[in-house]
Structure 1
Amino acid sequence: MRNIIITRSFIFLNRKIKRLLLLLVTIFLCARMMGETIIPDSISNPIRTGFHPDPSICRVGEDYYLVTSSFTWFPGLPIYHSRDLTNWSLIGHALTNPKAIDFNGMTDNDGIWAPTLRYHNGTFYLITTAHGCGGNFYMTAKNPAGPWSDPVWLKDAPGIDPSLFFDEDGRCYYTGNRWDFKSTWPAQCAVWMQELDLQKRCLVGERKTLAYGHAANAKYAEGPHLYKIKDHYLLLMAEGGSDYNHAVTALTAKSLWGPYVPCTVNPVLTHRHLGKDYPVQSLGHADLVQTPTGDWYAVFLGKRIVEGGLVPLGRETFLCEVSFQNGEPIFNPGIGVIGNRLKRPPLPWTPVSKTDKQNDFESSALSPEWATMRIPEQPFHHFADGNLFLSLRPEMADSLVCPSMLLRRVHSHNFSATTTMSFSTRRVNEWAGLVLYRTAKGYYSLLKGKNEIRLTKVLLGKKTIIATLPWKEKSVILRLVAKGATLTFYAGLSNDMLYQVGEVQSVDAVSDNKVNRFNGTGVGIYATSNGKQSINKASYQWFEYKEEN
């Protein structure tokens, strides 16, 4: 009997050990699976969401660098880095010297246009247009993260959208567009080229027009880029304007100075033939890059449409594969159109750390995704005791100067932005709070004043007070929630007790229209004394930007 009991106990114990071992193995396998990186077969398009127009790209070894237009945002000319054309991180800005350019008086559609990024013999070159505030200039750096040189202004370079091409003999050539001539058809522009002497830092030699576009009635030929591919030169350009009719066209030549012959497959990229209801529109302004294995890819801008045909994010950076057929580029071969997914480039998968959703303002400096509108003449923010303080100044979001406003790019059609603020005033002209900003004539503000919280909408320059909420507390949590084409605003003392301020709003105020044209939308914090001097400040404990599914 005793032996039977011992045997049964041993069997029972053996079962417990087996279950325990099975549990440990399961835990180990789950942990291992969780630790393994899952590499996707396809990736999201666009690759740089939100305000990222006019992309330019170059490769150095296995590293890719990308820059986009920044208009009047400062610091300007954001530089991104990737090793797989999919995962990108912001590594710096080229335009950081506040004395280099003056954006005051410039509209939000002026400023830094259409940069080109190139690398040659150990030096990075970035050339761009300061539209309305200086013209065309280039900068240099040994490290794309910076520091960059001050601008080298090219006074004898008319037009916009400059680019640089280094030929096999090391000589550098400037290409750009111009329209200062007697045109033969409406919106005719010329793409021209001239040698750039980097030692003398000026244009030299003959200036020659290469093309007026791919056809005899081509409109707005701009954004030219020149490449040497095998034994031919390829001239890529944008046409049709940056809206619905935008397109990429290509011409080839056997020699550098031409003649350049339009490709038979033109336009090589466009969506204008798909109708205005297609969810991705206005493709254009492309730049090419070749991987170490010989594959070609293009980056280019496009717009994503939400309900009602609205474009709240502006122009974004897309990617597609490019092949060559009889020397002519084929964009997204076998497919032709651009969707919201594409096959992942066959490069080593290199994830990057994601930007923190919440800024607690514990450090003494802003994280690099934050920017001002235009360039502050004097600092208007500082950090203390884990808070960020904004000084109330006479400048307003409506004025074409630098207000006390800090913005970060909006990357999704579905997001929330929340901040906790402490602010009190006895003056009716002093306000501080949350802002969703596209231009001085297109934004929303949710601001706390003397005894109330006020939701204001500015659409096409017309300012309307949408709603007010009585509020006497010093502290408040402010939140906006975007869902596609709609916006909802909230205020309260805690995240669990928020009151809706006004009715659900449309994103039309920050979407593309006749004043919201070229740049993109930002969200952030804002304080103003509305034209009067003030010593008051608003204190922000934290700010959270969160994208929703």
Structure 2
Amino acid sequence: MIRNPILRGFNPDPSIVRVGEDYYIATSTFEWFPGVQIHHSRDLKNWRLLTRPLTRPSQLNMLGDPDSCGVWAPCLTHADGKFWLIFTDVKRYGRTTVGGASGASLRDFHNYLVTAETIDGPWSDPVHLNSSGFDPSLFHDDDGRKWLVNQLWDHRPGKSRFAGIVLQEYSVGEGRLVGPRKVIFEGTAIGLTEAPHLYKRDGWYYLVTAEGGTGWGHAMTMARSRRLEGPYDLHPDTYVLTARDRPHAPLQRAGHADLVDTADGETYAVYLCGRPLPNRGRCVLGRETAIQKLIWGEDGWPRTLDGSGDPTLETPAPDLPERPWPHAPIREDFDGPDLPIDFQWLRTPYPDEIFSLTARPGALRLYGRESLGSLFRQALVARRQQAMCYSAATTLDFEPEHFQQAAGLVCYYNGAKLHYLHVTHDEALGKHLRVMSCQPDSPQADSFTRPITLAAGPVELRVEVDFERLRFAFRQGRGDWTWLPEVFDASILSDEATAPGAPNFTGAFVGMACQDTAGTAAPADFDWFDYEERDYRA
């Protein structure tokens, strides 16, 4: 059996492709750089993070992209001897507070195509396709023609913002879309129709979409037609896979799916899901990726194995040899020239401006930049939280000169949701340690614990997370850990902890940060970073 989710922690909007005996899944990265995560498996059960293809300023520049914007919904395919990757770079989500309203209609979505001969690149510079909506997907028809489908955004008053799925041909020779665009599917009554993927099977064109929003009402819908341009007839069960109206299902938010066939002709759906905290109903691990086997009925429609459409924690594995990957180490020592693959940073395609692995060999040096939560250049390097219970720690060598310089260990969702154990300085206390929290469900925008005076020299920082409970500790020298008395709410690091209408589509990270709002780029050195998933500690 395969245990779900297969990609734990913030890994939404999966797109899957098989090339020979290799399977690859691409997932969204939003404002985190480099863009797009690609995981690799040879048995559909064991997966490893293999690469992130959008690494250069010419491919992706997200400076100024708002929280939960940036790279949405990649589509990964393989045809004509190469890989094709389509993605959206979202520049404006459109939230406004004018008149107390939220969720403005004006938004900016730019869709691009990059290609590569091999999955680990190099990947080409992007070709701009359109900006008419998001969730683009490329379909390679068996006659050699290629077609783009995407969600169509309609900002006009009185119109549905989600205006259906639009189809347009892509010319490889001209490197652009050609011919007219046509809406081929307007969705079902639950609306919010998005995430299209096209397939061809037994003379039918099958269109998979996601509907109902990416929260508790999410669903995988399917329709089919004998003609590419439609009309498309809806699946007799309407929804192939969903947890809507199933509040006790262990996997919630199921939708945004893609299909793959094994070499033996078995069909699997990969889809995003969420695992709520048992007593808070918030998904601190963000939207994750699950997999489920489907079977084709005599009527030519796929269904889950029991026909219920319920997402499951387990699904039968294909008849393939198991190919497990080595476990990632608990400690990263930063001894190499490259950042370990589990770590990312925010927005900027110019990493040399915010960190270095060579300025102090054997350490990650962060250069203090803008404030925590800046949409431009902030020095924050972090990794995903991928378990409900974990421990993380690091050692920090940092001698701030004044209150505008700070560095430390951060548990981060976005600029409005974080807990930050940091070292700073002021003229009365000297060097000291405290926690700053930004909590969306608090009447106070940010809050601080009492300061704790530190001696000169390195300090070790630690965090323990058990479901919704988060605690910090520190020590200098080889003594015992000193635990801060406060217990912090880890559940705020979730999509669900937010004001209505705000974009919240990512997940919780833990990592290292440094600020110098005086503009002098004071450096902070982190010698190592530990991340260990574990059982619950009462």
TM exceeding 0.5: yes
1:534 corresponds in structure 2 to 520
Describe how 1:49-128 pairs up with structure 2 within 5 A. Answer: 49-128=8-87
CA contact 1:178–1:189 (8 Å) conserved in 2: yes
Q: 1:200 aligns with which of 156, 159, 174?
A: 174
CA contact 2:109–2:132 (8 Å) conserved in 1: no
Q: Which runs of 5+ in 1 are unaligned?
A: 1-41
Aligned counterparts of 1:134 and 1:324: Cα–Cα separation in 2: 35
CA contact 2:334–2:340 (8 Å) conserved in 1: no
Query: Per-residue deviation at 1:134?
Result: 6.1
Aligned counterparts of 1:502 and 1:105: Cα–Cα separation in 2: 37
2:215 corresponds in structure 1 to 243
Query: Per-residue deviation at 1:151?
Result: 0.9
1:419 is aligned to 2:394 = yes
1:175 corresponds in structure 2 to 149
Aligned counterparts of 1:182 and 1:427: Cα–Cα separation in 2: 51
Aligned pair count? Answer: 502
CA contact 2:292–2:312 (8 Å) conserved in 1: no
1:430 is aligned to 2:405 = yes
1:470 corresponds in structure 2 to 453
Aligned counterparts of 2:180 and 2:490: Cα–Cα separation in 1: 49
CA contact 2:154–2:161 (8 Å) conserved in 1: no
Query: Per-residue deviation at 1:208?
Result: 1.6
Q: 2:251 aligns with which of 251, 268, 280?
A: 280
1:373 is aligned to 2:353 = no
Aligned counterparts of 2:163 and 2:469: Cα–Cα separation in 1: 39
Aligned counterparts of 1:516 and 1:489: Cα–Cα separation in 2: 28
1:454 is aligned to 2:440 = no
Return the letter of the residue paired with 1:124: F
Q: 1:321 aligns with which of 290, 293, 306?
A: 293
Query: Per-residue deviation at 1:334?
Result: 5.0
Q: 1:294 aligns with which of 256, 265, 275?
A: 265
Question: SS of the residue aligned with 2:264?
Answer: coil
Aligned counterparts of 2:479 and 2:214: Cα–Cα separation in 1: 44
CA contact 1:323–1:333 (8 Å) conserved in 2: no
CA contact 1:418–1:478 (8 Å) conserved in 2: yes
2:471 corresponds in structure 1 to 488
Return the letter of the residue paired with 2:407: A
Return the letter of the residue paired with 1:139: V
Question: SS of the residue aligned with 2:446?
Answer: strand
CA contact 1:467–1:502 (8 Å) conserved in 2: no
Report the more deviating stretch, 79-88 or 502-511.
Answer: 502-511
Query: Per-residue deviation at 1:470?
Result: 2.1
Return the letter of the residue paired with 2:180: E
Q: 1:545 aligns with which of 516, 531, 537?
A: 531
Relative to structure 1, the CA distance from residue 135 to residue 188 in structure 2 (aligned partners, 3 Å threshold; closer, same or farther) is: closer
CA contact 1:58–1:64 (8 Å) conserved in 2: yes
CA contact 2:154–2:160 (8 Å) conserved in 1: no
Question: SS of the residue aligned with 1:421?
Answer: strand
Return the letter of the residue paired with 2:191: K
Describe how 1:179-258 pairs up with structure 2 within 5 A. Answer: 179-180=153-154, 188-213=162-187, 215=188, 217-258=189-230
Q: Deviation digits for residues 366-396 of structure 1, max 9, x if unmatched?
A: 1122111111544322232422221222x12
Question: SS of the residue aligned with 2:50?
Answer: strand
Query: Per-residue deviation at 1:427?
Result: 1.2
CA contact 1:434–1:525 (8 Å) conserved in 2: yes
Relative to structure 1, the CA distance from residue 281 to residue 94 in structure 2 (aligned partners, 3 Å threshold; closer, same or farther) is: same
Return the letter of the residue paired with 1:144: I
Return the letter of the residue paired with 1:207: R
Q: Which runs of 5+ in 2 are unaligned?
A: 92-107, 426-430
CA contact 1:455–1:502 (8 Å) conserved in 2: no
2:320 corresponds in structure 1 to 347
Question: SS of the residue aligned with 2:280?
Answer: helix
Aligned counterparts of 1:99 and 1:336: Cα–Cα separation in 2: 42
1:337 is aligned to 2:310 = yes
Aligned counterparts of 2:356 and 2:371: Cα–Cα separation in 1: 19
Q: Deviation digits for residues 453-502 of structure 1, max 9, x if unmatched?
A: 11111112821113432212321110111111111111112575111123
CA contact 1:369–1:409 (8 Å) conserved in 2: yes
Describe how 1:9-20 pairs up with structure 2 within 5 A. Answer: none
1:44 is aligned to 2:24 = no
Aligned counterparts of 2:206 and 2:16: Cα–Cα separation in 1: 16
Aligned counterparts of 2:436 and 2:42: Cα–Cα separation in 1: 43
Return the letter of the residue paired with 1:340: L
Query: Per-residue deviation at 1:516?
Result: 6.1
Relative to structure 1, the CA distance from residue 290 to residue 154 in structure 2 (aligned partners, 3 Å threshold; closer, same or farther) is: same
Query: Per-residue deviation at 1:521?
Result: 1.6
Q: Deviation digits for residues 211-260 of structure 1, max 9, x if unmatched?
A: 111x3x34111000000012211110000111111111000111222210
Relative to structure 1, the CA distance from residue 426 to residue 320 in structure 2 (aligned partners, 3 Å threshold; closer, same or farther) is: same
Return the letter of the residue paired with 2:231: P
Question: SS of the residue aligned with 1:363?
Answer: coil
Aligned counterparts of 1:494 and 1:267: Cα–Cα separation in 2: 58
CA contact 2:13–2:74 (8 Å) conserved in 1: yes
CA contact 1:100–1:150 (8 Å) conserved in 2: yes
CA contact 1:228–1:234 (8 Å) conserved in 2: yes
CA contact 1:187–1:219 (8 Å) conserved in 2: no
Select the structure of larger CA radius of gyration.
Answer: 1
Return the letter of the residue paired with 2:74: P
1:129 corresponds in structure 2 to 88
1:506 is aligned to 2:492 = no
Structure with greater proportional helix content: 1
Question: SS of the residue aligned with 1:523?
Answer: strand
1:409 corresponds in structure 2 to 384
TM-score, with structure 1 as normaliser: 0.88
Relative to structure 1, the CA distance from residue 243 to residue 535 in structure 2 (aligned partners, 3 Å threshold; closer, same or farther) is: closer
Aligned counterparts of 1:75 and 1:245: Cα–Cα separation in 2: 30
CA contact 1:321–1:333 (8 Å) conserved in 2: no
CA contact 1:212–1:218 (8 Å) conserved in 2: no
Report the more deviating stretch, 425-434 or 463-472.
Answer: 463-472
Query: Per-residue deviation at 1:92?
Result: 1.2
Q: Deviation digits for residues 88-107 of structure 1, max 9, x if unmatched?
A: 12221111012433312211
Return the letter of the residue paired with 1:63: D
Q: Deviation digits for residues 120-154 of structure 1, max 9, x if unmatched?
A: 01011001111117601111001111111111001
Aligned counterparts of 1:477 and 1:389: Cα–Cα separation in 2: 15
Query: Per-residue deviation at 1:408?
Result: 1.1
1:387 corresponds in structure 2 to 363
CA contact 2:55–2:349 (8 Å) conserved in 1: no
Aligned counterparts of 1:370 and 1:219: Cα–Cα separation in 2: 36
Question: SS of the residue aligned with 2:245?
Answer: helix
RMSD: 1.9
Question: SS of the residue aligned with 2:36?
Answer: strand
Q: 1:440 aligns with which of 415, 424, 438?
A: 415
Question: SS of the residue aligned with 1:489?
Answer: strand
Aligned counterparts of 2:109 and 2:348: Cα–Cα separation in 1: 15
Aligned counterparts of 2:450 and 2:376: Cα–Cα separation in 1: 27
1:11 corresponds in structure 2 to none
Query: Per-residue deviation at 1:166?
Result: 0.8
Return the letter of the residue paired with 1:260: Y
Relative to structure 1, the CA distance from residue 184 to residue 463 in structure 2 (aligned partners, 3 Å threshold; closer, same or farther) is: closer
Aligned counterparts of 1:370 and 1:181: Cα–Cα separation in 2: 37
Query: Per-residue deviation at 1:436?
Result: 1.0
Query: Per-residue deviation at 1:297?
Result: 0.3
Aligned counterparts of 1:230 and 1:148: Cα–Cα separation in 2: 33
1:22 corresponds in structure 2 to none
